């Protein structure tokens, strides 16, 4: 079932980063991912992206048709999910064990995710108690790349008086996460929608049945809820 018959192919540090970016961009509903999109995401020039796409195409982790963008292959998805698994496990470690705040973990996890040892990740997973979600509420793929994601919807779609629990954030930039910390919102917080302002899309919510906070449309769109 889950065994790899052929040798898992090795990607360089850089190839791994590109593949992860392509995977994330693919997730956003787009059929194919453009060179410019990847260039923006990776902060490299489009010419560099073209180079890399050729290489990733040859390794068959993406399907690459010149001038028409790329599709990630099944093999590519598997590899990207392994990297994402490592990244999110390290994030859990940094927050749970080393007391990093959730806006500090990205950069460090971006380095740690490239450590190759398989046994390291297995034991880290075990040590952390096989967590299913990272500190931002994103699901952690298992060692076969399977993801159990929770059904979730943007906070903006909740009606007045509806309740739910914050399970994830879309934008996990340090600035946004620091804002959430400041107002007292966190992954797992139980919330209730008290009021919705049609005019500007802002809402008022009650956190953990005690604290009332106002959130702008921009913030509301970036918070995901499980009901």
Partner DNA sequence: TACATACATTAGGTATGACTAAAATATGAT
Partner DNA sequence: ATCATATTTTAGTCATACCTAATGTATGTA
Contact residues for a copy of itself (CB under 8 A)?
94, 97-100, 104, 107-108, 111-112, 115-117, 119-120, 123-124, 127
Burial label, 36 (beta-carbon count in 10 A; 0-12, 13-18, 19+) = exposed
Q: Minimum CB separation from a copy of itself for residue 101, in Å?
A: 11
Residue 34 interacts with DNA (CB under 7 A): yes or no = yes
Q: Minimum CB separation from a copy of itself for residue 132, in Å?
A: 20
Are 202 and 220 in contact by the 8 Å Cβ rule? The answer is: yes
Interactions with DNA, residue window 48-87 (CB under 7 A): 48-55, 64, 66-69
Reading the block at residue 49, the tokens are 């992206």
Question: Read out DSSP for 85-143?
Answer: HHHHHHHHHHHHTS---TTSHHHHHHHHTT---HHHHHHHHHHTT--SB-TTSPBPP-T
Going by C-alpha positions, the residue among 184, 182, 170, 174 that lies closest to residue 219 is 170
Q: Minimum CB separation from a copy of itself for residue 143, in Å?
A: 16
Site track 99-128 with DNA (rule: CB under 7 A), x = hit: ------------------------------
Select from 24, 45, 123, 170 the one that contacts DNA (CB under 7 A).
Answer: 45
Select from 8, 9, 10, 13 the one that contacts DNA (CB under 7 A).
Answer: 13
């Amino acid at each position: 079932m889950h065994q790899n018959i052929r040798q898992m192919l090795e990607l360089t540090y850089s190839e791994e980063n590109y593949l992860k970016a392509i995977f994330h961009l693919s997730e956003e509903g787009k059929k194919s991912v453009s060179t410019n999109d990847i260039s923006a995401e990776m902060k490299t020039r489009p010419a560099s992206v073209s180079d890399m796409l050729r290489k990733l195409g040859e390794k068959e982790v993406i399907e690459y048709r010149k001038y028409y963008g790329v599709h990630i292959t099944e093999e590519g998805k598997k590899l990207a999910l392994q990297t994402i698994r490592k990244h999110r496990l390290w994030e859990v470690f940094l927050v749970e064990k080393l007391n990093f705040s959730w806006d500090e973990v990205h950069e460090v996890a971006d380095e740690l995710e490239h450590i190759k040892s398989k046994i390291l990740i297995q034991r880290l997973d075990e040590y952390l108690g096989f967590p299913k979600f990272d500190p931002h509420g994103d699901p952690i793929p298992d060692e076969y790349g399977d993801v159990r994601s929770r059904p979730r919807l943007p906070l903006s779609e909740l009606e007045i008086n509806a309740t739910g629990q914050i399970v994830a954030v879309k934008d996990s930039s340090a600035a946004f996460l620091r804002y959430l910390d400041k107002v007292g919102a966190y992954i797992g917080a139980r919330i209730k929608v008290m009021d919705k302002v049609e005019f500007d899309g802002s809402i008022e919510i009650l956190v953990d049945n005690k604290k009332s906070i106002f959130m702008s449309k921009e913030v509301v769109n970036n918070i995901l809820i499980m009901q």
